[in-house]
Structure 1
């Protein structure tokens, strides 16, 4: 109990100095969430309030239930792209129902420990994911530079100057917040001809209200929403787990992946019940939060709570915030997110690692789909790993007085069985053959089948065959699946 209370205190009451940093970081994030949420609502084909309410509820609930302090979750493009056909063909109520089911799937994923699949995502894939996301964040700002006045370019430049130079004066206040306030003040005072947040879409008035999705509880409804819910859940968890890994690296700490999975599910269910769309972790806003000093759950909760305050109380003033100020912040995020060391590392790292990273970046940027890029990177990593292990396999043959000894070294699995079989072809037949596998390991039924075929062929030619040196795990596999031999390990007849 004492440990729990100590952990709770560290996550919510980190001390006066850190609490101030968390509060200020949350305010910066709240301002940066507004244009993003509106833009994602437009992508999904819904009213801006659906994305904004989702960002409010998801951020506040994930602060309570999530497993990674300081990570920001809200409405995201990854989920918005998935639900566009559902909204178009069936309407908003089916989106809410699909989001509830999405949350249930994510809770189940946490219960059955699907978060452990992150162990199979290599560092090269994570680096590619980060770089691709940085590129996409920057590309998303480009429309704000088309058909605009020179004042827009000047404000973006000025905003970047404040962001990077103000910390030399003091770090007590996050420089992105200073940039937004200064540029907003100048824009309103001088009446500059620049785009504002209100130009992105109508800001909602009042608070979100609780309501169950108005859809018929039938099998037909389930058939409609099930494919969307599964996809939303998978994409949301994938992006959240990768973002959590990035926050771990940035803060030199470790979150609870399982709790994060279930927390994401709970947050999405609450979002749907309060008129919001689904969402997940946001790497851009998370980087803003951590870079601004956010470290505890307080910063995440503040982001959602302050966004709600802005919408409910200061809506007209929020609408007057100039977009160039927010563009400057997001450009800073893209620069800070990109792994610049990965460029010189292309020559220093193994070629296979560099290829995996570049393929991940290319697929994500080309498809605008983070899940496809990560999947491509993981598959390519697996292929390269299997090929590397395959090359580490060897069979050496020695013969004396009609007795041939084959010493097998390395890992026997589906990718190396062809080399294993080839070592026994084209050799002069011997009266007696010993296959020594004491330096080898059998991993799958492909390896067992290869050994089976070799033993059967040699015995068919009248050769006496003995296999020695099984380790315990290999012996268990052979005893279960081999057709021609038992290992004899359990009786002690064969050394291991």
Structure 2
């Protein structure tokens, strides 16, 4: 037993050390530089995402530090950078409004447990199959919501309470637009211009950081009367909190389980999408289930320290790769960089104007919107466009949870419709060719041949039933050709059972030809092969015709 434990410990350490095989001092220096750059890039985003989510700015820093460290150290991607992202703003803001910060912590904790369970159950590959129009639909919807949520700070509007719903926000903005602050608007516009044009000068320093420095200096040198982080939230703690967890009761769990599922699903999708993008940039190959487990652990730990949901961040991961990061060391350095900044210079962050953060989030929203992809899908096949627009509109008008649920159901029904359209049942006539082969010999009198094409599932089973009913005269032998049937479900099995029963009642000999291995195993497990008779299961149509002639002779 002791040897087994030692072997497992060595195996675990081998998995953890795998990214560092052949690690060199030169790569360490590249990872170190990349981690420092990404840490500086993540600083304003962590604060902005927290504020936009309805929580205090330090909670974004806690999440970026804890989540970033765990996702990099234990995740399935060598270059993934984790932390708070814009995709969670809508969900987190809604939870805080409904259940408070304690409800958010519980929802994040539950989401972490769900992500770990998904990874253990090896569902990482399944999440990859979420329809692309659905992902683009809710991502663009989130971008629109983020943009609309920042207009108050962007223009410095005097709105006592911004409504949570999308249309209520715009109504409130329209009613208070006369309170616009020109200094705040100028700072926000300047932030956007700096972020757009500064990369043309150099990419060594992130434009968002330059914008923060410039606008903060402008506020204090010009004595501009605008709202800052400090005037709204007070001081940012320069110490790390002790882990704690709020009291949980059954009512709180009931209120937070649905958004927790949405956090887990969205976190899984975004983290694996980020890992796939990273693979394309580095030529690597991430481990999806390991990544989900690390994402879950990051969210559980973030909740214990009062943080918000964390996931893989596509933009920061891309920045890491472009800066030379190739191992988890870069992500760990990024988290440590943020920790040092918070502990040493946290008080300086209170001087940042809110309008600057609004400008940063407007750029984030624009980058999230994927307008080119959105327009391309909207102009494509009607089914994809329907899923895209439905998900987008529901995300904006209602909430992300409803959008994902309805979008998935709609995508599923449209997929079923496509499968039904390609499924076909036809009566093979005498002399008809089969798969380009030579013309069959004449079908003997008293023999009918039906060919099934496509999956025989509950959506297409009715076609088979209707076709069988069209047989005017009951044949002595009925051949069912199933060479082009890749799968069969419970309804399809029931349809075959009904056919076996009908043939037995009407004294018709049923012969089945061309079963694919998966369909054969399914019929075997359901004992339908026994009821049909193994003698009457043949590999192809010529063999079925030979058997049909033999049956006719025996019964003649």
Same fold (TM over 0.5): yes
Which residue does 1:319 correspond to in 2? 350
For residue 121 of structure 1, the aligned residue among 130, 151, 161 is 130
Which residue does 1:130 correspond to in 2? 139
8 Å Cα contact 1:106/1:233 also seen in 2: no
1:200–1:305 Cα change, 3 Å = farther
Which residue does 1:63 correspond to in 2? 72
1:300 deviates by 4.4
Alignment of 1:267 onto 2:267 = no
Which residue does 1:474 correspond to in 2? 519
1:444 deviates by 0.9
Give 1:436-475 correspondences, 5 Å limit. 436-475=481-520
1: distance between equivalents of 2:15 and 2:59?
Answer: 39
Gaps of 5+ in 2: 1-12, 158-178, 431-442, 541-556
TM-score, normalised by the number of residues in structure 2: 0.75
1: distance between equivalents of 2:484 and 2:246?
Answer: 64
1:353 deviates by 1.5
1:14–1:359 Cα change, 3 Å = farther
Which residue does 2:545 correspond to in 1? none
8 Å Cα contact 1:196/1:320 also seen in 2: yes
Q: What is the Cα-based RMSD across aligned positions, in Å?
A: 3.4
8 Å Cα contact 2:482/2:515 also seen in 1: yes
Gaps of 5+ in 1: 216-220
1:268–1:340 Cα change, 3 Å = closer
8 Å Cα contact 2:511/2:538 also seen in 1: no
For residue 166 of structure 1, the aligned residue among 184, 187, 198 is 198
1: distance between equivalents of 2:83 and 2:262?
Answer: 13
State the secondary structure of the residue aligned to 2:351. coil
Alignment of 1:187 onto 2:197 = no
Deviations 1:72-98 (A, max 9, x none): 32384324533655548xxx4x87566
Deviations 1:93-128 (A, max 9, x none): x87566555544432332122323313302222222
Which residue does 1:218 correspond to in 2? none
2: distance between equivalents of 1:256 and 1:12?
Answer: 26
For residue 370 of structure 2, the aligned residue among 339, 352, 366 is 339
1:321 deviates by 0.9
2: distance between equivalents of 1:158 and 1:125?
Answer: 34
2: distance between equivalents of 1:12 and 1:198?
Answer: 42
Whichever of the two has the greater Rg, that structure is 2
Alignment of 1:244 onto 2:244 = no
1: distance between equivalents of 2:25 and 2:62?
Answer: 23
For residue 83 of structure 2, the aligned residue among 57, 69, 73 is 73
Give 1:75-474 correspondences, 5 Å limit. 76-77=88-89, 78-79=91-92, 81-82=94-95, 85-87=98-100, 92=102, 100=109, 102-144=111-153, 145=155, 146=157, 147-213=179-245, 215=247, 221=248, 223-224=250-251, 226-227=253-254, 230-231=257-258, 233-248=260-275, 250-251=277-278, 252-253=280-281, 254-274=285-305, 276-281=306-311, 286-287=314-315, 290-291=318-319, 293=322, 295=325, 297=328, 300-301=331-332, 304-346=335-377, 349-369=380-400, 371-397=401-427, 398=429, 401-432=445-476, 433-474=478-519
2: distance between equivalents of 1:64 and 1:424?
Answer: 61
1:332 deviates by 1.7
1:312 deviates by 3.4
1:403–1:456 Cα change, 3 Å = same
